[in-house]
Amino acid sequence: MRALFLILAYLMVLLLPLGLSWSLGGPPRPWHQEIASGLGMVAYSIILVEFVLSGRFRSISAGIGMDVTMRVHQVMARVALVFALLHPLFYQGSNSGGPRPWDGTRQLTLTTDLSVLVTGLIAYLLLPVLVLSAIARTKQNYRYEAWRLMHGAIALAIAALLLHHTITAGRYGSQLALTTIWSIMAAVAVGSLLFVYLIEPMRQHRQPWKVESVRRLTPRQWELKLRPDGHDGLAFQAGQFAWLNIGNSAFSVYENPFSISSAPAAGPEISFVIKELGDLTSALEHIKQDTRAFLDGPHGGLTVDDRTEAGIVLVAGGVGIAPMLSIFFQNRLTSDPRPVKLIYGNREESQIVYREELAAEDVVFTLSEPKEDWNGETGVIDGALLDRVLSPEQYSQWLFVLCGPAIMMDIVEDHLIARGTPSHRILSERFDYD
């Protein structure tokens, strides 16, 4: 119900300017001009709401998941780009130029005044840069922090340019009701940027953390443990994640999302299992004790606290074990009566983390490249493996929580549904932050 409410609210906001313009009426004009205006208005609405979707507001992401929120952000950016590119094309063949005696209100004649068109033209050129640079970020190996600043600056410029263009060049935008709506929506968009870059960092600055320890778990995986510095810590649920900023100002953009691997019941200290991949992760061994850190969180809906299923199956691939550890150890520390089964896949035996702690529990280890003396399961986590280690009762009645490579989660989800597991009993989160 919450997800449905958010979807309806989203659509209402997108279509509000369009509906208001329709209610205002005006002299009739060719259909292609109305389509042109509609495409432009919806495109601008999408662009302004994109600011809110990228603002890490838990009131939004808690209802549908942070991964879904960001995926909507990515998809709708492409929709806005298509609508914006089509917008001027539908004006072909329309009357343009200076005022006409029969069109004193300038509602039927397109203006050629460069002072009101130039902002739209600049935004028209910047929008493809914004969207395409986001799509190409991972392929071109841009530094995330530099891209993030550029992305935010270009988006803000487009929003401001289009506000001027919409109000001064649009048939409907110049009317008071539409001008007010656009101004309010633009103010909310800018406010979401202020929240991300100013208000939230101010909160983090008042609640700093310090590095307690950095420990190598495997050749390329580390445990990073933080302790609260002068506050009670972070109120989170097992399975959630946070953006981590180490050794920088709270206002720095140098932060990365990592799943919390420790259990809430373990105390105020929190831990992360981090794999060496990027700039921060490759420098973990050089981080000193007591280094200051900041957290933006908690985020994510990969949680089981409010679930009523008879048991829980955790399926983890590689570093996807991090949120599963949090759920697993929380279950143990709170004496949760629900049985938990963990299926944990890696490429090599040396990549298994917390093996001793997990070995005594109901855990299935599988390796895709095992050595000859390996006694556990072999191969990737797929339907055949699941059928060997799970019962029909578990398929039909237990909750499944998945985290790992996208291809693994696709295979597992498809097999679970084929075995009769309802989709509402399958939890997963996929992260791809453009």
Note whether 368 and 345 are within 8 A (CB). yes
pLDDT in tens, 227-261: 999 999 999 999 999 999 999 999 998 888 899 99
pLDDT above 90: residue 126: yes
| 274-294 burial code (b ≥16 CB/10 A, e <16) | bbbeeebbeebeebeeeebbb
Q: Mean pLDDT throughout 405-427?
A: 94
* Closest to 320 measured CA to CA, from 376, 275, 354: 275
Which of 2-16, 197-211, 398-412 shows the lowest mean pLDDT across its residues?
2-16
Confidence of residue 434 (pLDDT cuts 50, 70, 90): very low
What SS3 state is found at 275? Answer: strand
* Closest to 82 measured CA to CA, from 135, 43, 53: 43
CA distance 194 to 57: 13
Whole-number average pLDDT of the chain:
88
Locus of tokens 């900041």: 294
List of E strands, 65-107: none
More confident residue, 226 or 141: 226
pLDDT above 70: residue 398: yes
Which two structure tokens, joined as six digits, stand for 253?
């953009």
pLDDT in tens, 378-396: 999 999 999 999 999 999 9
pLDDT in tens, 42-67: 999 999 999 999 888 887 777 677 78
Locus of tokens 């989709």: 423
Q: Which long-range contacts (CB under 8 A, 24 or more apart) does 102-109 make?
A: 103/27, 105/27, 107/26, 107/27, 107/29, 107/171, 108/27, 108/29
Confidence of residue 113 (pLDDT cuts 50, 70, 90): low
Contacts of 3 (CB under 8 A, 6+ apart): 63, 64
Which two structure tokens, joined as six digits, stand for 170?
């649009």
pLDDT in tens, 180-230: 999 999 999 999 999 989 999 999 999 999 999 999 999 889 999 999 999
Write down the pTM of the prediction. Answer: 0.84
